[in-house]
Amino acid sequence: MLVNFDINMIKTPYYVVDERLLIKNLEILKSVSEQAGCKILLAQKAFSMFAVYPLIGKYLAGTTASGLYEAKLGHEEMGGETHIFSAAYNQDEFDEICEICDHIVFNSFSQLEKYRDKVIRYGKEFGVRINPEHSTQNNAIYDPCSKGSRLGVTLKNFREDLLSGVSGLHFHTLCEQNSDDLVETLKAFEKNFGKYLHDMKWVNFGGGHHITRNDYDIEKLIKRIIYFKNKYSVEVYLEPGEAIALNAGFLVASVQDIVENDMSIAIIDASAACHMPDVLEMPYRPVIIDSDLPNKKPNTYRVGGPTCLAGDIIGDYSFDKPLEIGQKLIFCDMAIYTMVKNNTFNGMKLPSIALAGKDGKVKLIKEFGYNDFKNRLS
């Protein structure tokens, strides 16, 4: 994979989003929305680079949030529709949530009973998140349908007697998955909860739809959306996060030192623990441009960060030529779940944020410094 911009224009480490690749994703999502007659929202939990929100807003219907701060960001920087779901709302924040959000989704009927009257007074729509109890993945940390999940109302706990005023049902069960898993989930959802949709205005299929991935079956997705719209006369919402910026961003880092301990170890100025935490959490091994699996090329290195955490290891890679101090490494697919999850453990400097425009020129959007570390503490 090649990058079509100058990686030397900004001091490392930095995240850079390629506007051309972002638009490519957005055009796919807009096409799905138009063909299926659905509304697609940006799930900000995955990607919250609000410098490109005006661009995203030209293609999507709005944003969805997991709390007040995300809701405010989407409302202020993109506009359009603002939706919110929280496992449990903070009473002190709820009036402000009602002021700026269009759809408010509750995780339980007890939360619905607590806040229903207030939402009605504000004239906003509200729904219930349900749990279809149908797992299509193996990683429990990302599976809202895993045993003992706190997310969504199961059929056993569903309160038909409390549906007055409820305008929609919401579920979120997928993570980086294709439309065949959605189809299986919809069968379970429809079997247990479909009868209630006839009295609803909308249904939200949640996120986890990897729509912009090359092998994603878009036609199957469109057919299921149209089926639901026609059968139940509801508006259908999707709220993908990763699909918006999938493969549209990079993390550029520099080699700081090379040490030896049974193998060659390259220490870079970026950290798995601080700057790409999903590498350790999922875990997974991100792609570095012009590298391969260990021992596939002549020179193999373990690549890790500078923190004191012994496990701050990104992975093992091989390269055509020996790495050199100061050499830049480009990590792929680093726009999603990076900027939104990074941290300043060990006093690590946060990577700058940059945008590569249509002309290939790289623009510095934000540079972080000592005060960003200090001001989070006391």
Domains assigned to the chain:
37-245 (3.20.20.10), 249-334+342-374 (2.40.37.10)
Length of the chain equals 378
Specify the amino acid at residue 275: H
Q: pTM for the whole thing? A: 0.96
Q: What is the model's pLDDT at position 138?
A: 81
H-type alpha helices, 109-239: 109-122, 179-197, 218-232
Give the Cα separation of 236 and 171 in Å (integer): 12
Give the Cα separation of 291 and 306 in Å (integer): 21
Contacts of 225 (CB under 8 A, 6+ apart): 36, 37, 38, 205, 236, 238
Q: How many beta carbons lie within 10 A of that of residue 231, not counting itself?
A: 12
- Do residues 135 and 172 lie in contact, with contact meaning Cβ atoms separated by under 8 Å? no
Q: How many beta carbons lie within 10 A of that of residue 76, not counting itself?
A: 12
Q: Identify the CA nearest to 224 among candidates 14, 37, 26.
A: 37
Q: What is the model's pLDDT at position 1?
A: 58
Q: pLDDT of the chain along its 378 residues, tens only?
A: 568 888 999 999 999 999 999 999 999 999 999 999 999 999 999 999 999 999 999 999 999 999 999 999 999 999 999 999 999 999 999 999 999 999 999 999 999 999 999 999 999 999 999 999 999 988 888 899 999 999 999 999 999 999 999 999 999 999 999 999 999 999 999 999 999 999 999 999 999 999 999 999 999 999 999 999 999 999 999 999 999 999 999 999 999 999 999 999 999 999 999 999 999 999 999 999 999 999 999 999 999 999 999 999 999 999 999 999 999 999 999 999 999 999 999 999 999 999 999 998 999 999 999 999 999 999
Q: What is the model's pLDDT at position 139?
A: 83
Q: Which helix (H) or strand (E) holds 143?
A: none
Give the Cα separation of 73 and 308 in Å (integer): 34
Q: Is 208 helix (H, G, I), strand (E, B) or coil?
A: coil
Q: Identify the CA nearest to 5 among candidates 14, 90, 15, 16.
A: 16
Specify the amino acid at residue 338: T
